[in-house]
Amino acid sequence: MITFIVTLLVSALIILLAAWLLPGVSVKSYGWAIVVALVVGLLNALFGMFLPDFGFLVSLIVDAVAIWCAGKLLKSFSVANFWWALGCAAVIAVCQWLLGSVVAL
């Protein structure tokens, strides 16, 4: 349970970072970033049930679709279009990879 909470809080921070870096992505607050992280995680789990793991590129596109859908579902999180969602997914993937590399040490 602790791992889930820490992962959720770190994911929310990464979403805030992506929103700060990308002008086409915005989130109102850290609290809403936590909600976005939950929604994106649930959507990824839902999409993952129907799509096998084809590798990084397909996972990135699935993440982008989940982010774009979250932007449509939540008023406090906006994504201008799919390309910004793809950029957001790329920022999240790079940050998670970097954090995973550091934590694995």
HEC string of 57-92? HHHHHHHHHHHHHHHHHCCCEEECCHHHHHHHHHHH
The predicted structure's pLDDT at residue 104: 64
The predicted structure's pLDDT at residue 44: 87
Note the pLDDT tens digit of each residue in 29-68: 999 999 999 999 999 888 877 777 677 888 899 899 999 9
Note the pLDDT tens digit of each residue in 57-101: 888 998 999 999 999 999 999 999 999 999 999 999 999 999 988
Residue 105 pLDDT greater than 60, yes or no: no
CA–CA distance, 73 with 58 (Å, rounded to integer):
22
